[in-house]
Structure 1
Amino acid sequence: MTQRVELATVMDRLAVDEVVTEYAVVVDDGDWEAYRRLFTPDGRADYRSAGGVEGDAGEIAAWLSRTMELFPMRQHLIVNRRVRFGLLEQDSGDTARVQADYVNPMRFAGQDGGSTEPDFVCGGRYDFGLLRTAEGWRVREVVVHEKWRRVPQRRQEPAVP
């Protein structure tokens, strides 16, 4: 591998990583226009394993917009990213597949302001298929594989005699 090819691969890895990070940030910030821009025109997302829906980026952005109103505090943490280039059909070096684990603590709307503990935490793995476009790397597909979820039990204060 030449230095030029190695540098191009590093640059692609950084660009792909940026898309995955941006995905988490725009969902956490509720920026649904930016969410749509992350996708190719035919891009799709599948949240069914997490109790959600599957559809094109516009449909999913609309669904997320409504659903995330329940959780004004949310913070995706996307880790353990495995990036592989050229795994989609008829590849010419312009596709990538990313598997990345996530942990997502969220707080339900209307909860008291005294506690900072999340009310709902889930985790799993994202499976991203990305495509290099004239505008840069974009999500062609993302599938959420939720592995677990937890709703912490509220602590009971001892009764005052």
Structure 2
Amino acid sequence: MKIFRSALLGLVFVGASISINAHATDASITKSVSPGSMLVLPNGGTRMSQFGLISSDFPRGTLPKRKTLTSIEWQTTWYPEGEGETLELCYFRPYSRTEVGCRAIQPNSSGTINDFNNQRFDNGAKVTIFHRVNGGRDVIQPVGQDIVTFRYTY
């Protein structure tokens, strides 16, 4: 009976140490980019802002840890001289050329997308914001930058 209690007590301590070390850490990475000048042709124009992640974006010592996306916060610029501007935010898993999915967002606005929660997130992941216009002058300029904040756990 004494051996059984000692073994049971040992299992309780092992279980306690596992649960203490198993909690996740929340983190975020914010990036900003200007989509740049847009050439508007008779059928419209497109520009994009890309937010790719590299190893130096992550805290030291976390590269080997598994990371999971929890949300993407965004703030967009716009092309005031463009006509019928639409935007789309697309998420790409690390080193993938195919997006997980894309969501329509609004120009000159901000918000949070939870559609890609629990997706794999790491070095090589990226978000692309596409700006599209139906018409406008020959070359148009954005009035600011697009900003993306990746929220994740590891």
Q: Give 1 or 2: higher helix fraction.
A: 1
Taking CA–CA contacts closer than 8 Å with sequence separation of 6 or more, which of the two structures ends up with the larger relative contact order? 2
Q: TM (normalized to structure 1)?
A: 0.23
Q: TM (normalized to structure 2)?
A: 0.24
Structure (1 or 2) with the larger CA radius of gyration: 2
